[in-house]
Amino acid sequence: MDVFILQLFNGISVSSILLLIALGLAITFGLMKVINMAHGELIMIGAYSTYLTQNLFHAYMPSSWFNWYFVISIPASFLIAFLFGLLLEVSLIRHLYGRPLDSLLATWGVGLLLQQLARSVFGAPNVAVTSPSWLNGGMRILSDVVLPYKRLFIVGLVAACLIAMYFYIYRSLEGRRMRAVMQNRDMAACLGVSTRRVDAMTFAIGSGIAGIAGCALTLMGPIGPSLGTYYIVDAFMVVVLGGVGKLVGTVLGALGIGVFNTMFEYWTNASLGKVLVFLCIVAFLQWRPSGFVAMRTRSLD
């Protein structure tokens, strides 16, 4: 029982990180049919932003304040990744609408460039980010089940992001425009919605959330220029499994992959676990080829 609870918690913890990464992907893919392979590098940018915030606090702030750098680093990494995303959308992504496979290749190139840039600026070896001391330790819920605060914090952070996204998409004016463009781009444009602005904003917000994911990842271990590549394919699998168009699909996809991955890895080993998850995904797609949620249309393609 103890083991089961711990595994379940680990699974949810993995899922929450996957979800944070996949949220931005699912929205940009659903909205613009753009596959952003540089998403992993936006995570990396978020992680390095946290690293820089930490260094700035170290250098210029009284040491008693140091523990609070992390509170600043969350919005900081969001903002920096947001700006990178905006730049990327305006300079490149804009030219790739309607060509998902091409966008995949071009953004992969951007990812390579950003990784190399990070290597040139920060050096190839991983750097460590010191977690604030208030996140050390854990919560004891059973005699030998301890839930680390760091992981709990990440789950909470993801929940907060999810709620914020929900309100943005379903309760705000901007969000309504976004959904309009997603469902019928031409019609939305005719009604006076600036689709370009919506695209740019959405892409930037998705990138910003990737930045927050990067910030969260600094709690899990050292970070390096290729940090994002470990997560990007799994995050895309979440999108494939979840389907596009609704937040709930992405949440289910992330939970499915995260929990099953942890379970299988516990029962077998890391490499076989991954194989089993992949087989499960392929099997699931036999049943629902377009994921958990799918929008039906009447057009030929």
The nearest distance, CB 90 to other proteins, in angstroms, is 14
The nearest distance, CB 82 to other proteins, in angstroms, is 21
Residue closer to other proteins (CB basis): 186 or 301: 301
The nearest distance, CB 185 to other proteins, in angstroms, is 12
Residue closer to other proteins (CB basis): 171 or 298: 298
Distance separating alpha carbons of residues 241 and 249, to the nearest angstrom: 8
Residue closer to other proteins (CB basis): 123 or 156: 123
142: DSSP letter: E
**The dihedral sign for the CA sequence 249, 254, 260, 263:** negative
Residue closer to other proteins (CB basis): 35 or 161: 35
Q: Please say whether the beta carbons of 44 and 237 come within 8 A.
A: no
The nearest distance, CB 108 to other proteins, in angstroms, is 6
Site residues (CB under 8 A) for other proteins?
29, 33, 35, 92, 95-96, 98-106, 108-113, 115-116, 119-120, 229, 233, 236-237, 239-240, 269-272, 274-275, 278, 281-282, 285-286, 289-290, 296, 298, 300-301
Which spans in the chain are helix H? 2-32, 39-60, 69-91, 100-122, 149-171, 173-183, 185-190, 195-217, 229-242, 247-267, 270-287
Nearest CA among 109, 209, 120 for reference residue 169: 209
Q: Please say whether the beta carbons of 3 and 11 come within 8 A.
A: no
Residue closer to other proteins (CB basis): 123 or 137: 123
